[in-house]
Amino acid sequence: MMGSRETFKKPSHLQVDTLDDPEIRAAISTLRQIVASCMGPHGKIKIIQNATGGHITRTTTSSRLFGAISLSKPVLKLIVSSVQSHVEQYQDGGLMACLFCLLLVESSLDCDVNRSILADLYQVFYDIVDDYMNSDECACKYELDFSNLEAMMAFVQNMYDSKPFCGLYGYQLEEFSRLILQTFLQCIPDMASSKASFYTTRIYLLCVKHEDMNYSRNLNGLVIEYPELSSHVEKKLSIKRSLDSASCHRIKVALVNCSMSGDAESELNANYEVATGVNPDMFYLEKILSFCYQLVTLGTGLVICQKVMHPQVKEYFRKEGVLFTDRLGAMPVPYVQDVTGATPIGLLTEAPSDGMFGWIDHIEHVVIHDKSYLHLQEVDSCVITLVLATPDEDKLDELKTTTLGVLRNLERLIIQPEVLFGGGCWNTHVASYLRHHVAQNLSALASTHDCSESLVSTSAEIFARCMEKIAMVTSPDSMDHLVDVSSHHVWRVTKGEINDISTIRHSASLKCGCGLLNGTMVKDFQFLNEKLSGPKYKEFLVSKPNSEAIGCDIVSDSLSVVVNALRIAVNTASSIITVGQFIHDTN
Ligand SMILES: [Zn+2]
């Protein structure tokens, strides 16, 4: 028997790649170009379709891009899976993490430094950069003031602005950003009056295909699909109310997360013995009906089932005047828990205890763009439904992905309000700091890592250059890049316009990438050009900008997102460049 099985197994066809194979280098370079060209407000939208001509995805977000492309090279799979782990946690900064990692890998292959030493030094440089960015001395960050709504608006607008496929511009971008910020602020619980812990972020995203994006809005409470009623006319509902523990007339809610279909086999998932003449499905259905009877006796007004309800169960609830909905799916369940306070019931063989029921004040039938919904409202709940409307599915996915990132960033800002000067400015600033710090500690670094001083400075230059390249890819193609030698921010000028740096007019209309500085505030510039050798920063005397000088229109990036994206990029690049061979079975 063993022999016959073996004959069916295809023989392995092992392919062994090394990083220096031209094919692998070309693949790394292609992915780098794709990722780089997605970044920032000038990012180019990608259209992805698999070889068999399936679904077309248009996007510039890393999560949708990596979800749509299939990679065959193990080295690229390794990079993308590291980036995806960052995106899962932060929902932002994926493109930057991926690009920095690919740049580090490519630059490492182009130089003749021993790769193990290089990998060690990259970790050291990351620690230097991380220490600086998290320190009080760091001059490229500031605290975003949550009470300054204009500054918060600018932060939200920047994030949508960097995702051009969302299709938000001008007035619409402003209106949409205001809606998101308002929704976010509305769902922050008042700790004195409400419960302290929640199962969700309290903002439920409801995606609606609609020609007009201005149809997007928020509704207090939770809006769930309700196919039981007409999708054309909103109906007035009469719902049974009961007395809650405070003797108020409210709606009692039961949330069931197991099937109420009566299909014993799929539901019990167990072996059982049946007496002759007994139909197990009928027996199980009777148990469910008896459970429903108990719900009715206990005064339940609304039954929400995550899975399927048997038609007889529905019939029974209808007869008893109990509102019900089934096939809710797993995703909205925690939101129902947060809005009602109900605990999911997973066993239908005994009566639920009092504590398992939830309560709400009001339920309405609403019709949104020809679909029927139940709108569950509870005064103290903090749960908000954010209706996102765009004309097509693809754009809706992009808007949803970006919105999740924006909301996650806002949430993080409450805990850590520090942001970096964006638009490429923190990149050039931190790169300058690294060069300076390494130059100051050259002999110590060389002796700790048992290598020459020139090797340490060459490696630091590679690391700093890769960081600066990120600032350059977010610009339109027609730009030259300068860095000022006092604050080390990045400045963009029309390509070829300036040949001699001393001829630059230090005017107020010339602005750095983040918008903090203008030409009158800085002394000298240097070209940030790959062809020139790195700028020689002899000193790094940057004082922190006065918080009053920081306007609301500054482009900023979340510090925690950037720090983690850099960490993932450096760890992944370090482990890749030390791998000798990538072996994969092509059968
Ligand atoms: Zn700047």
Condensed to tens digits (0 to 9), the pLDDT of residues 429-461 reads 999 999 999 999 999 999 999 999 999 999 999
Q: What is the distance in A from the centroid of ligand 1 to the CA of 40?
A: 15
Question: Scanning the structure block, which residue is given the tokens 């806002």?
Answer: 410
- pLDDT above 80 for 385: yes
Q: How far, in Å, CA of 390 to CA of 206, rounded?
A: 11
The string of DSSP codes covering 23-50 is HHHHHHHHHHHHHHHH-STTPPPEEE--
Q: What is the distance in A from the centroid of ligand 1 to the CA of 190?
A: 36
**Phi-psi map region of 506: left, alpha, beta (phi>0 left; psi -120 to 50 alpha):** beta
387-445 pLDDT tens trace = 999 988 899 999 999 999 999 999 999 889 999 999 999 999 999 999 999 999 999 99
Q: Kindly state the DSSP code that residue 235 receives in the 8-state scheme.
A: -
- pLDDT above 80 for 5: no
The string of DSSP codes covering 404-450 is HHHHHHHHHHHH--EEEETTTHHHHHHHHHHHHHHHHTHHHHHHHTT
Asked if 176 and 388 touch (Cβ cutoff 8 Å), the reply is: no
- For strand 249-256 and strand 302-305, is the pairing parallel, antiparallel, or unpaired? parallel
Asked if 95 and 38 touch (Cβ cutoff 8 Å), the reply is: yes
Helix ranges, 424-556 (H): 425-440, 442-448, 453-473
Q: What is the distance in A from the centroid of ligand 1 to the CA of 515?
A: 5
Give the start-to-end residue ranges of the domains of the chain.
17-140+421-585, 166-219+388-415, 235-377
Q: Can you give the pLDDT at residue 423?
A: 93
Closest residue by Cα to residue 476 from 29, 37, 32: 37
Which amino acid, 395? K
Class of the CATH domain delimited by 17-140+421-585? mainly alpha
| Measured CA angle at 532 (ends 528, 537), to 5 deg | 65
Q: Can you give the pLDDT at residue 388?
A: 95
CATH topology of domain 235-377: GroEL (3.50.7)
112-159 pLDDT tens trace = 889 999 999 999 999 999 999 999 999 999 999 888 888 899 999 999
Question: Which of the four pLDDT bands, split at 50, 70 and 90, describes residue 269?
Answer: low
503-552 pLDDT tens trace = 888 888 899 999 999 999 988 888 886 444 444 545 687 878 887 778 88
Q: What is the distance in A from the centroid of ligand 1 to the CA of 423?
A: 7
C-alpha distances in Å from residue 181, one per residue of 178, 208, 350, 509? 5, 20, 45, 30
- 3-state class of 147 per DSSP? coil
Q: How far, in Å, CA of 564 to CA of 412, rounded?
A: 13
**Phi-psi map region of 91: left, alpha, beta (phi>0 left; psi -120 to 50 alpha):** left
Closest residue by Cα to residue 321 from 305, 340, 336, 301: 301
Q: What is the distance in A from the centroid of ligand 1 to the CA of 483?
A: 10
Q: How far, in Å, CA of 332 to CA of 135, rounded?
A: 41
Asked if 475 and 484 touch (Cβ cutoff 8 Å), the reply is: no
Q: What is the distance in A from the centroid of ligand 1 to the CA of 467?
A: 15
Closest residue by Cα to residue 308 from 339, 329, 279, 331: 329
Q: How far, in Å, CA of 75 to CA of 186, rounded?
A: 44
What pTM was computed for the model?
Answer: 0.87
Q: How far, in Å, CA of 526 to CA of 164, rounded?
A: 31
Q: How far, in Å, CA of 117 to CA of 317, rounded?
A: 71
Q: How far, in Å, CA of 318 to CA of 309, rounded?
A: 12
Q: What is the distance in A from the centroid of ligand 1 to the CA of 511?
A: 8
Q: What is the distance in A from the centroid of ligand 1 to the CA of 123?
A: 27
Q: What is the distance in A from the centroid of ligand 1 to the CA of 518?
A: 9
Q: What is the distance in A from the centroid of ligand 1 to the CA of 194?
A: 41
Q: Can you give the pLDDT at residue 550?
A: 82
Q: What is the distance in A from the centroid of ligand 1 to the CA of 286?
A: 70
> What DSSP element (H or E) covers 509?
none
Q: What is the distance in A from the centroid of ligand 1 to the CA of 90?
A: 24
Q: Which residues on neighbouring strands pair with residue 493, listed in sequence order?
A: 480
31-75 pLDDT tens trace = 999 999 999 888 888 888 877 778 889 998 998 999 988 888 899
* Radius of gyration over every alpha carbon of the chain, rounded to an integer in angstroms: 29
Q: What is the distance in A from the centroid of ligand 1 to the CA of 543?
A: 14
Helix ranges, 9-139 (H): 22-38, 62-68, 74-90, 94-110, 115-134
- pLDDT above 70 for 207: yes
Q: Kindly state the DSSP code that residue 353 receives in the 8-state scheme.
A: P
Q: What is the distance in A from the centroid of ligand 1 to the CA of 397?
A: 32
Q: Which two tokens stand for residue 536?
A: 């020689």
- pLDDT above 70 for 374: yes
Q: What is the distance in A from the centroid of ligand 1 to the CA of 542?
A: 13
Q: What is the distance in A from the centroid of ligand 1 to the CA of 525?
A: 13
Q: What is the distance in A from the centroid of ligand 1 to the CA of 140?
A: 8
The string of DSSP codes covering 334-345 is HHHHHHH----B
Q: What is the distance in A from the centroid of ligand 1 to the CA of 426?
A: 7
- pLDDT above 70 for 363: yes
